């Protein structure tokens, strides 16, 4: 069975953009692949963060992932598998400084820190985290990595590091992982449909997968339909976003009917918003019920995830022992 590796940073809450953009795909991939899904808490340290919240956010994200259908046996926590960071250091020696400074996300995120006007600083971790990300992928010898357009550059760096490593040791040790490009809709903020749904932009710019019905309905009711991007003969981003949310949350029949109304020129935005809110409430109610069951058994869940991390770690240990042999380092005999 081919293997898939994908990771997510622990920001605690999960919103519709996270779910439809990545996590729903994780759930579906479990049917056909050997899956390794990581909660990467080391990566969450690369930008200014709240130390007191990191551990809680890690467990909260794990509970959320399980509530939407990710299997516990496929989950690992990055900091429970120290081989990731050790392989990351080795890979530092097979990656050029210039490659890292050209990474688009480094430029964007370092600008965010610089513009904050505070005493915060740009960490070396922010520059270097794509190398650790390469270690996250290659340590399990993953065949495929689900990626969106914003991650293509990082996957290419991973392939470059693997190729340079193979050339240096004179052996095709790492198979170059391929991107797994699936249909992943880009969910926009309902408050500003010209930007993607994101927690960093503030509460009004995202809809939590586990928030109460009243708030979901309020946010959809107040959704912006025209953000000044109207072009004759083309659906505005705000209206398109509502149609997209309606369709992917399971409202295919309502989507078809309201699309017909739109094309006929008699769509009422209130009808579109009501249908979208109804469908999102149906979907999120299901997830809230499942999360309630997970939280009731959180002690057992924590034990299961620590056990799954320990089991997955065996694969990482095997890879690291072989890599250390190949690059001339000493190994501790286990």
Residue-averaged pLDDT of the chain: 92
What's the pLDDT tens digit per position in 122-142? 889 999 999 999 999 999 999
Q: Which CATH architecture has domain 3-184+297-327?
A: 3-Layer(aba) Sandwich (3.40)
Domains 3-184+297-327 and 199-293 equal at CATH topology level: no
pTM for this entry:
0.90
Q: Annotated catalytic residue: which of 109, 186, 288, 324? A: 109
Residues 248-257 have pLDDT tens digits of 999 999 999 9
Compute the distance between CA of residue 206 and CA of residue 236 in angstroms, rounded to an integer.
Answer: 19
Catalytic annotation present for 306: no
pLDDT (tens, 9 = 90+) of the chain, 334 residues, equals: 999 999 999 986 899 999 998 999 999 999 999 999 999 999 999 988 899 999 999 999 999 999 999 999 999 999 999 999 999 999 999 999 999 999 887 877 777 776 665 567 888 999 999 999 999 999 999 999 998 766 788 899 999 999 999 999 999 999 999 998 877 778 999 999 999 998 877 889 999 999 999 999 999 999 999 876 666 778 999 999 999 999 999 999 999 999 999 999 999 999 999 999 999 999 999 999 999 999 999 999 999 999 999 999 999 999 999 999 999 999 987 5
Over its C-alpha atoms, the chain yields an Rg (Å, rounded) of: 22
Q: Please give the pLDDT value at position 83.
A: 98
To the query of whether residue 218 is one of the catalytic residues in this protein, the response is no
**pLDDT at site 145:** 94
Q: Where are the domains of the chain?
A: 3-184+297-327, 199-293
Longest CA span, the chain: 73
Look at the domain 199-293 and name its fold.
Tyrosyl-Transfer RNA Synthetase (1.10.240)
Strands 3-8 and 34-39: parallel
Alpha-carbon gap, residue 244 to 323, rounded angstroms: 45
Closest CA to 223 of 192, 197, 254, 266: 192
Tell me whether residue 221 is one of the annotated catalytic residues: no
Compute the distance between CA of residue 39 and CA of residue 87 in angstroms, rounded to an integer: 17
pLDDT at 228: 67
């Amino acid at each position: 069975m081919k293997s898939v590796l994908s990771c997510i940073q622990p920001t605690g809450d999960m919103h519709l953009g996270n779910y439809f953009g990545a996590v729903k795909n994780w759930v579906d991939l479990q049917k056909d692949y050997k899956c390794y899904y990581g909660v990467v808490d080391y990566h969450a340290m690369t930008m200014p963060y709240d130390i007191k919240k990191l551990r809680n956010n890690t467990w909260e994200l794990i509970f959320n992932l399980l509530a939407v259908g990710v299997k516990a046996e496929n989950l690992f926590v990055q900091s429970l598998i120290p081989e990731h960071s050790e392989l990351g250091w080795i890979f530092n020696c097979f990656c050029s400084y210039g490659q890292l400074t050209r990474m688009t996300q480094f430029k964007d995120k370092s600008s965010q820190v610089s513009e904050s006007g505070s005493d915060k600083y740009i960490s070396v971790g922010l520059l270097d985290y794509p190398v650790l990300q390469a270690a996250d992928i290659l340590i399990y010898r993953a065949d495929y990595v689900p990626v969106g357009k914003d991650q293509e550059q990082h996957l290419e760096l991973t392939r470059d590091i693997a190729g340079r490593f193979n050339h240096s040791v004179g052996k095709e040790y790492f198979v170059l992982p391929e991107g797994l490009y699936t249909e992943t809709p880009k969910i926009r903020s309902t408050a500003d449909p010209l930007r993607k749904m994101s927690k960093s932009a503030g509460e009004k710019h995202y809809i939590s997968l586990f928030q109460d019905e009243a708030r979901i309905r309020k946010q959809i009711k107040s959704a912006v339909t025209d953000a000044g991007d109207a072009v004759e003969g083309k659906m505005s981003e705000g209206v398109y976003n509502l149609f997209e949310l309606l369709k992917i949350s399971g409202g295919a029949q309502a989507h078809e009917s309201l699309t017909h109304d739109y094309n006929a020129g008699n769509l009422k935005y209130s009808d579109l918003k009501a249908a979208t809110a109804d469908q999102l409430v149906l979907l999120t109610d299901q997830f809230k019920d499942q999360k309630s069951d997970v939280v009731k058994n959180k002690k057992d869940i924590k034990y299961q995830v620590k056990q799954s991390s320990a089991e997955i770690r065996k694969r990482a240990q095997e890879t690291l022992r072989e890599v250390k042999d190949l690059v001339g380092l000493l190994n501790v005999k286990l």
